[in-house]
Amino acid sequence: MLHYMLVFMAYHSSRRIPLNQRLKFQVVNAVFIVAVLAPQLFVMGRPKSSRYCRQPLLNNLAISVALSIVASGFSVIFTLMDLVHQSLWAAYHVFGLLSCAHGLSTAILTLTAAPCAKTTPELYYMSVVLTVASTFSTGFFAVRGGLWLTKSQWMMGTGRAGE
């Protein structure tokens, strides 16, 4: 859920800025996009990354790069629009499901790819970083969802469901 969280953070950070000044936020957004994509592209371009590894870590990294590019598109669109259309929100949430599936597959591949640390070290450690980041972001959304459910149950119990 790493990529889903990146868009979430960009959207909620930009909402604190007036609409006429959000274009300035795009500079920060562009720097952040480069900071996320550059290490992934660097590792993908390394000669050692193409060596044999039992797990398809290189393919997984390619998917991560693709999801990072899509996430950057969502973050640009969401930060520039004042009212985001419901179909765009739906597409974003489907993207979140894909991001969750990718995080889960990254964790499984990384946990079963310990021998790859010797043959493809940069690729393996990038996979470890992506696994940790995905685990952190999934935990964030699990806590956030739990708090939301608690709040909605409390509102239903007090008869204040419309608030």
Q: Running along the chain, 163 residues long, what does each successive block of 10 average in pLDDT?
A: 90 83 82 91 85 85 94 90 89 94 94 88 92 93 88 71 54
Global pTM exceeds 0.75: yes
Q: Count other C-beta atoms under 10 Å from residue 50's C-beta.
A: 12
Any domain includes 163 = no
DSSP 8-state symbol, 15: T
Any domain includes 162 = no
Any domain includes 152 = yes
**Structural domain that includes position 149:** 2-156
**pLDDT at residue 161 in the model:** 54
* Domain count for the chain: 1
Q: Tell me the DSSP string of 70-127.
A: HHHHHHHHHHH-SS--HHHHHHHHHHHHHHHHHHHHHHHHHHT-TTHHHHSHHHHHHH
Any domain includes 43 = yes
Any domain includes 83 = yes
Backbone angles phi, psi at 16, to 5 degrees: -85, -5
Any domain includes 115 = yes
**pLDDT at residue 163 in the model:** 54
Q: Shortest CA distance to 32 belongs to which of 93, 75, 92, 82?
A: 75
Amino acid at 8: F
**pLDDT at residue 134 in the model:** 93
Torsion, Cα of 108, 111, 115, 117 (10° steps):
100
Any domain includes 66 = yes
